[in-house]
């Protein structure tokens, strides 16, 4: 019993320590998140019970920033440790970066899409640019695939969950949209 209890205490300590470090990245898990995630898992399990290869029909999408000066975006990596690694990286106030979007699924990759303005300069994502990417790049790319059975998943970024964006995606995917404020939250 002593070794089991010691193992549990170590695991608990590790989980608590990791949560503290993880929350330093600004991604704290809130109390209501557990219930929402549990509902989503139960929904997904029900879908898999009906369609065993359901997970192969989901287009997982996101964008990432790549700094052109070598800086590594902390959103693109996670450091899990029992101790704070005390890593500091100095960067210019406004370094040049490139924002890239893609969607992955069992059938392949759609993308990459590089966010640039009309002059060809790198830009970050906002609602208008995201909807333009969906309209001018993503939807035409979907025409090369059988989308009748595909689901589209995106995270809860504001540009993804704006009412106009959700309406645009519902026009293509109907209820097969996994998104905050979408048919499947």
90-116: buried (b, 16+ CB within 10 Å) or exposed (e) per residue? eeeeeeebbbbbbbebeeeebbebbbe
What are 101-151's pLDDT values in tens digits?
Answer: 999 999 889 999 999 988 988 888 999 999 999 999 999 998 887 777 889
pTM (two decimals): 0.70
Average pLDDT for residues 44-52, to the nearest whole number? 92
Q: What is the pLDDT of residue 35?
A: 83
């Amino acid at each position: 019993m002593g070794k089991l209890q010691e193992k549990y205490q170590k695991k608990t300590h590790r989980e608590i320590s990791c949560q503290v470090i993880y929350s330093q990245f600004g991604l704290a898990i809130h109390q209501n998140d557990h219930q929402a995630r549990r509902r989503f898992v139960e929904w997904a399990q029900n879908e898999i019970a009906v369609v065993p290869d359901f997970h192969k029909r989901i287009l997982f999408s996101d964008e990432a920033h790549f700094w052109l000066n070598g800086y590594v975006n902390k959103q693109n990596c996670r450091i899990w440790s029992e101790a704070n690694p005390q890593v500091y990286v100095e960067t210019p106030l406004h370094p040049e970066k490139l924002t890239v979007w893609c969607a992955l699924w069992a059938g392949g990759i759609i993308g990459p899409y590089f966010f640039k303005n009309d002059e060809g300069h790198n830009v970050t994502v906002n609602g208008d640019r995201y909807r333009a990417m969906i309209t001018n790049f993503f939807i035409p790319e979907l025409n090369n695939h059988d989308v009748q059975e595909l689901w589209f998943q995106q995270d809860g970024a504001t540009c993804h969950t704006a009412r106009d964006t959700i309406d645009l995606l519902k026009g293509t995917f109907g209820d097969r949209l996994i998104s905050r404020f979408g048919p499947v939250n």
